[in-house]
Amino acid sequence: MMHILWVICQVLFYIWALPALYYEVWKIFNYDKINSISIKLDNVIETKIVDDLTEKEMILILASLLYIIWTFVGLFTCRGWLFLFLIILSLLEYVWPFWKTKWGFRVDSVISIIIILSILINKF
């Protein structure tokens, strides 16, 4: 019985890769939207007023947080080194100015898609 629950948990964990893939593909084509949301989020953090964010923007922020949590949980799997690459890619934005540009954003998304696909292929 415990083995079946363990397998179900693993499958559910790796199914979460599908929304992560969708998010990365969506990011490639929506740099302007994500950039405006990050500017709004910076304003929300400074002013503590959440009224500026729309419902869709809040859902996107929540999806981003779930994606981050998924990558940190993934560090404890046998494919943890691939999840570590995803985390390093997200931190490059703060170290390398190219990563904040439109093309840097796209390169980040393409590399992230390749890593997520590698995670899925290595599992299944």
The end-to-end CA distance of the chain, in Å, is 22
Instruction: In whole angstroms, give the CA distance from residue 106 to residue 71.
Output: 19
Total-model pTM: 0.80
Closest CA to 18 of 81, 67, 73: 67
Average pLDDT for residues 101-111, to the nearest whole number?
A: 85
Q: For residues 94-106, give the mean pLDDT.
A: 79
Query: Tell me: the pLDDT tens digits for 58-77?
Result: 788 788 888 888 888 888 88
7-57 per-position pLDDT tens digit: 777 777 778 888 888 888 888 888 888 878 777 777 777 776 666 677 777
Q: Are 104 and 98 in contact (CB under 8 A)?
A: yes
Phi and psi, residue 74, nearest 5°: -65, -20
